[in-house]
């Protein structure tokens, strides 16, 4: 009976705890916005995850800002992005996971649900 306890607790945590954001994203194939520790943002779909927030992502748009290295002191920041078809994201680099606020209300999420570390 003790062997089943961690499985039940883990499943309950995935369905009702903070990880439910990722679980719902996988279930409904919805997009999430992830802020990372390297000051980059990832916008894509979660295919799989674990309790450490390691994730397999698909159709990811990675976005960041760079300041050009010119001789001028007042160089304006430039927004950059790139597309990544599939990637593995290590959980310790995740700061916050948000649902796509512009998505249709196909799930029962409220606009305030998010996963934060």
pTM of the predicted structure, to 2 decimals:
0.77
Residue ranges and CATH numbers for the domains of the chain are 4-116 (2.30.30.100)
CA distances from 75 to 29, 48, 66, 94, 97 (A): 40, 40, 10, 29, 31
Per-residue pLDDT tens listing for the chain (117 residues)? 455 555 667 777 777 878 888 998 999 999 999 999 999 999 999 999 998 999 999 999 999 999 888 777 788 899 999 999 999 999 999 999 998 866 655 444 444 455 655
Place of tokens 């748009």: 61
Give the separation between CA 97 and CA 36, rounded to whole angstroms.
Answer: 9
């Amino acid at each position: 009976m003790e062997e089943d306890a961690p499985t039940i607790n883990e499943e309950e945590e995935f369905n009702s705890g903070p990880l439910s954001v990722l679980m719902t994203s996988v279930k409904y194939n919805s997009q999430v916005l992830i802020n990372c520790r390297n000051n980059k943002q990832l916008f894509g779909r979660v295919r799989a995850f674990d309790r450490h927030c390691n994730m397999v992502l698909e159709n990811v748009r990675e976005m960041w800002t760079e300041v050009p290295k010119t001789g001028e002191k007042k160089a304006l920041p430039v927004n950059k992005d790139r597309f990544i078809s599939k990637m593995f994201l290590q959980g310790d680099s995740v700061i916050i996971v948000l649902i796509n606020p512009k998505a249709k209300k196909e799930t029962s999420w409220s606009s305030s649900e998010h996963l934060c570390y």
